[in-house]
Amino acid sequence: MKLLLALALLLTLVTPPCVSQTAPAASKTVYQSSALTVTQVAPNVFVHTSFLATDTYGKVPCNGMIVRSGQQTVIFDTPANNPESEELINWISNELHCQIKAVVPTHFHDDCVGGLPAFARHRIPSYANAQTIAYARQRQANVPQHGFRNRRTLKVGRAKVYATFFGEGHTRDNIVGYFPDEQVLFGGCLVKELNATKGNLADANVQAWPATVQQVKQAYPQVQVVIPGHGQVGDQSLLDYTIRLFQQP
């Protein structure tokens, strides 16, 4: 008996305490057509993926985020064009049986604002960084309806989702979305998937980029799921990878 007690005491001394960690849930495709895919990445968070035709990179898959609480949703970034946006709106209405409270483009490029006219036709308000509105007007892109500076809090059902400008990076207006209830971050094009290249730098501030992502990381230390603007969903390692990528000469 004394030997057993001694062994038990020894195990408590050498065995590290159990640390509870919540790993990102496995993604599940819940809708797919030739033009649009919707993937569930958390109980109430979905990624919509559409395709943008480009001269430089060919047909590029583009991610956006859908956040749900109760019977309401908020969308970050439109699909790449109006038909794909109509398809997403119909899926949310007919399959999720939810109202779309708002759409939030995270910067002024077409993979974020390309479908805004479709949302406007359905009387869905759009909110964006005031700089995004200014740049969209300058570039003759689709223009969001309502502007904000630095941060906008949006109610969705009984929850809140945040749209925040942390600094320049992929563009000078890029924001991120964060849903604290499920610790999901939509990094948009500010955040790269693992092993991605630097990509389109036409409107970028490469020098500021790593510091901006570092601020995002510090603001949301509990984040579990990170959604990049293009490519595979991951965790905080996407933030670390993006920082390293743009710290390189």
Q: Which of 48, 101, 107, 217 is labelled catalytic?
A: 107
Active site residue 142: no
Contact between residue 194 and residue 232 where contact means Cβ atoms under 8 Å apart: yes
Matching residue, tokens 């956040």: 67
Q: Which of 48, 101, 109, 217 is labelled catalytic?
A: 109
* Cα–Cα distance measured from residue 186 to residue 65, given in angstroms and rounded to the nearest whole number: 7
Q: Which of 82, 200, 203, 240 is labelled catalytic?
A: 200
Active site residue 97: no
Contact between residue 110 and residue 117 where contact means Cβ atoms under 8 Å apart: no
Q: Which of 170, 173, 174, 217 is labelled catalytic?
A: 170
Active site residue 200: yes
Half-sphere exposure of 121 (CA within 13 A, CB side): 10
- Both structure tokens of 124: 């869905």
Contact between residue 105 and residue 126 where contact means Cβ atoms under 8 Å apart: yes
- Positive or negative torsion for Cα 220, 225, 230, 231: positive
Q: Which residues are the active-site residues?
A: 107, 109, 111, 170, 189, 192, 200, 230
